[in-house]
Amino acid sequence: MADVAKDLTAGTIGGAAQLIVGHPFDTVKVKLQSQPAPLPGQPPKYAGAMDAVKKTLTAEGPRGLYKGMGVPLATVAAFNAVLFSVRGQMESLLRSEPGAPLTIGQQMICGLGAGVAVSFLACPTELIKCRQVSVTIFPKLH
C-alpha cells in the first residue's frame, strides 16, 4: 500500500509539473489548429506560434496561456490512480509467481492495458480543454 501511495503521489506531482510547464504550448497549438481559414487575400488570425503567444498575452494576459488547464490539473491524480492500478493488476495477472520478473512482452501488455484504461479519462478531458481554449477563437459558437 505504501508503494501505491508513493507512486500515486510522485505521479501526481510529476503530472502537475508537466501540465504547468507544457500547457502554454498546448494552448498555442490548439489556437493555431482551430483558427478559421482566412478569406482569400486576408492573413490568418495567427501568423505562427509566436504571434499566437503575443496576441494571447495582449488580449488575455498570462492567464490566457493557461486557459483550459483546470480540468486536466484536477484529473491528473485520477489518471495516475487508474494508470498505476491497472498496470499493477495486469502485472499480477501476468506474473507466473509473485515477485517473478516480467518479460518485455508482458511489460508491453501491462503498459498497453494501462494506457487504454487512462484514455477513457484522457479523451473527454482533452475535449473539454480544447473547447475551453477555442472559446476565445470562436466565442459565438459556444
Please check the confidence at residue 141 and state whether its pLDDT lies above 80.
no
Chain segment 1-11, per-residue pLDDT in tens: 566 677 677 77
Domain count, the chain: 1
- pLDDT one-digit tens code per residue, 98-140: 889 999 999 999 999 999 998 988 888 778 877 776 665 555 5
End-to-end Cα spacing for the chain: 44
pLDDT tens column, 16-49: 888 899 999 989 998 998 888 889 999 999 999 9
- Model confidence, pTM: 0.64
**pLDDT per position as a tens digit, 89-99:** 898 899 988 88
Rounded distance between C-alpha atoms, residue 11 and residue 50, angstroms: 31
- Chain centre to alpha carbon of residue 37: 26
| Grid coordinates belonging to 72 | 486536466
Q: Which domain holds residue 25?
A: 2-141
Q: What is the mean pLDDT of the chain?
A: 84
CATH number, domain with residue 101: 1.50.40.10
